[in-house]
Structure 1
Amino acid sequence: MTVPAASQLRVPPPTGGDVLNMALVVPLHGPAGIFGPSCESCAALATEEINAAGGVLGRELNLVPVDGGNPPAVVATEVDALIRAGSIEAVTGWHISAVREAVAPRIAGRVPYAYTALYEGGEHRPGVFLTGETPDLQLGPALDWFADRVGVRRWTIVGDDYVWPRRSARVARRYLRTIGGTVCDEMYVPLGTSEFSRVLHRVEASGCDAVLMLLIGDDAVAFNRAFSAQGLDRDVLRFSSLIDENVLLASGADNTRGLMTSAGFFEDLATASGLDFAATYSRRFGPDAPVLNSLGESCYEGVRLLTELMHRAGSADVLPMTSVAEGLSYETPRGTVELRDRHLRQRVFLATADGLSWDVIQQL
């Protein structure tokens, strides 16, 4: 796919009047493109609900799509162009941390930015609000569960080579030291990797009990298929903090034995708020809808968070929104959530793969 130069980007007319434009940055191609349709559908559902309830600040909310699957610098240039043209007043969406690392400095606090992906933690730039899970809620408690419940303390880390896997691995190493765990081996592959034979030979030679998978989308699919083909799923568990129903479907039921994850939302999460959201999603989009998952639902959260902040502040500007952010609490498909230090505090659940679906075991 040829990426257009910044001068070729199509910029909508300036926002204003009765419409508030919000950029939705989600991957539409590349290794993470598998998540794009779910993200778009959930964000659209949030927008429809908000508009049906009167919009935001008396204005109709409109989403402006931006392909977060492009190289980070290209995404940042497009978002910057939209802001400079006055075409958007806010940014949200699920995209990898490498994209956030490029986009956030270019936004530079000019408009509010709700980053919805689970991520490695540590983001505090002005005007950035974060709805995703962080390692203190998601990764650390999962490693603790593995050690206490199944005696797994020997891990090999396999990740894509960019900021989220490397920083998450750093957190995992630090946490494992506190519980008497060990990292047997650690390796990183370029985004878009589909051939894992050398990696799997090292996994097998490491003598680990489990693999911490820090792979994105299509890369995780390829790894799961190769892992099972080599027979490693008979003896070695896999845990990933970023794996969804789309990846299960693409991996195939024969390739998900011993695969686990943790997240703030699952399609089959048996809570009143989760079941209500799943039913609403199904009614709206029908049986052929993109898979409902935590990554897509996070985009619903991003749209909701920004509009809740705007309502509370009476403004779409960063400073008033930031001034009212601390302690903001409201109901979402994830239950009651609360904003602390511009991060959404939420429940996180552990799940194990059962063929092509997730069986939620417990809250972490």
Structure 2
Amino acid sequence: MSTRGRTPARRSTGSLLDTLISQRRGGQGSGPRNRGPIRIGLLVPFQGADAIWGPSCQYSAVLAAAELNENGGILGRQIELLAADAGGSPQAVVERARDLVERQGADALVGVHLSSVRVELARALAGRVPYVFAPLFEGATERERVFSIGEVPERQFAGPVSHFMEQRKSRRWFLVGNDYVWPRATHNWVRDFVAKHGGEVVGDEYVGLGHDTAHLIDVIEAANPDVLFLSLVGSECVPFNRMFAERGLSRRIIRLSGAIEENTLMAIGAENTENLYCAAGYFSALETPENRNFLKRYRDAFGVTAPVQGVLSEACYEGLRFFGALTARAKSLDLDILSQAFEGLTFESPRGVTTVRNGVATGPTYLARADGTEFEILRSFSND
């Protein structure tokens, strides 16, 4: 798929999306990588728990690529997006990504998907082409040779967890997450943080992706925590939160999530979101000049019925904008030169200005409360 030229017009939305999600097959070859368009492999989920935010990611990536192309592309070359499904088993995603690099000639990869997929992609393709992992993550990816730019647990949760412990006197915490690297690492951080601040974790449960969560409702009700910390991802959040509210637990137990974005919130349903909060580096409700401009460009390009933007799809947009800034600073696609340009890099996104310090992207975190099927931002926390 090519995004040369102007930002996609509203009338062309359907064809743009159809083109984006169909993988290019045949007649492409790898070709010389220093001439013609720069090919970026977009890795977003089309299946599995995280597919719920896939369409929003697709649209935001098209917008980012078109905007970069309007300003000369990357290193003077127009961007051409290639797409592969980053949902399903990590091993299957590796094979799809390998096809992007080896057969379709991707010069770089930008991914918004689960960390379990990132781990396998890094093992298989690290050092082959630049790979930007854009969403929130668990940290400590330095050895993977991946440009990870999302929120780490300390940046994402220190302020919000402190808020509930100090303002709401929430001392008893119960942790529930899916069984893979991001929830487990995040829970380790939350457990230590809560203990250091005089609280107690009264339960810590993990459920495999696609497994039933009904049994956890009884366990949580018996433990009677002040706060239920949720690291369930994507569509995994939907049946659990519905059951939780139907049991009546939402009236007395606060729910704090790090992964419920706007698409997931709508799927949970307004009647099931009482006392539901989320901590994230971005919400579509963010009232800043940068975000207002971003959402206006997005609506102008795709119309008011386009998929809603949230922290994960904004990260997809941000991943492409970050890569444009990184290559502009490095003046190269060479992985070693790009790595040297990473530290101290400043780039702009709908969140505002972000700077990489000590290998971690800095910026504010926001605490939002679900108001029906929308988020209301309560406060921000600086992590600079």
Class of the TM-score when normalised by the shorter of the 2 chains: over 0.9
Match of 2:348 among 331, 335, 346: 331
> Percent of pairs identical after alignment?
37
- Distance in 2, matches of 1:81 and 1:330, equals 30
Match of 1:288 among 305, 314, 320: 305
- Distance in 2, matches of 1:13 and 1:278, equals 36
Is 2:260 the partner of 1:243?
yes
Is 2:94 the partner of 1:100?
no
User: How far has the Cα of 1:313 moved from its partner?
Assistant: 1.1
User: How far has the Cα of 1:188 moved from its partner?
Assistant: 1.0
2:123–2:144: 8 Å Cα contact kept in structure 1?
Answer: no
- Distance in 2, matches of 1:197 and 1:323, equals 48
Deviations, residues 209-248 of structure 1 (Å, cap 9, x unaligned): 1111110111101111111111110110100111101011
What TM-score do the two structures reach when normalised by structure 1?
Answer: 0.94
Deviations, residues 295-314 of structure 1 (Å, cap 9, x unaligned): 10000111111111111111
- Distance in 2, matches of 1:182 and 1:155, equals 6
User: How far has the Cα of 1:37 moved from its partner?
Assistant: 0.3
CA RMSD of aligned residues (A): 1.6
Structure 1 equivalent of residue 52 of structure 2:
34
- Distance in 1, matches of 2:45 and 2:104, equals 23
- Distance in 1, matches of 2:354 and 2:214, equals 42
The change in CA–CA distance for 1:100 and 1:126 in structure 2 (over 3 A counts) is closer
Structure 1 equivalent of residue 360 of structure 2:
343
Q: Which runs of 5+ in 2 are unaligned?
A: 1-22
Provide the secondary structure at the position in 1 that maps to 2:187: helix
Structure 2 equivalent of residue 5 of structure 1:
none
Is 2:190 the partner of 1:190?
no
Structure 1 equivalent of residue 69 of structure 2:
51
- Distance in 1, matches of 2:118 and 2:352, equals 26
Q: Which runs of 5+ in 1 are unaligned?
A: 1-7
User: Partner letter of residue 14 of structure 1?
Assistant: S
1:197–1:226: 8 Å Cα contact kept in structure 2?
Answer: yes
User: How far has the Cα of 1:290 moved from its partner?
Assistant: 0.7
User: How far has the Cα of 1:85 moved from its partner?
Assistant: 3.6
Q: Which stretch of the first structure deviates more once superposed, 74-83 or 237-246?
A: 74-83
User: How far has the Cα of 1:170 moved from its partner?
Assistant: 0.7
Provide the secondary structure at the position in 2 that maps to 1:324: helix
- Distance in 1, matches of 2:29 and 2:54, equals 25
Alignment of 1:1-364 (within 5 A): 10=25, 12-15=28-31, 16=33, 17-85=35-103, 87-125=105-143, 127-193=145-211, 195-364=212-381
User: How far has the Cα of 1:192 moved from its partner?
Assistant: 1.6
Provide the secondary structure at the position in 2 that maps to 1:101: helix
1:268–1:275: 8 Å Cα contact kept in structure 2?
Answer: no
2:214–2:240: 8 Å Cα contact kept in structure 1?
Answer: no
- Distance in 1, matches of 2:91 and 2:97, equals 10
User: How far has the Cα of 1:126 moved from its partner?
Assistant: 5.2
User: How far has the Cα of 1:86 moved from its partner?
Assistant: 6.4
The change in CA–CA distance for 1:43 and 1:342 in structure 2 (over 3 A counts) is farther
User: Partner letter of residue 224 of structure 1?
Assistant: N
The change in CA–CA distance for 1:126 and 1:190 in structure 2 (over 3 A counts) is closer
- Count residues in correspondence: 356
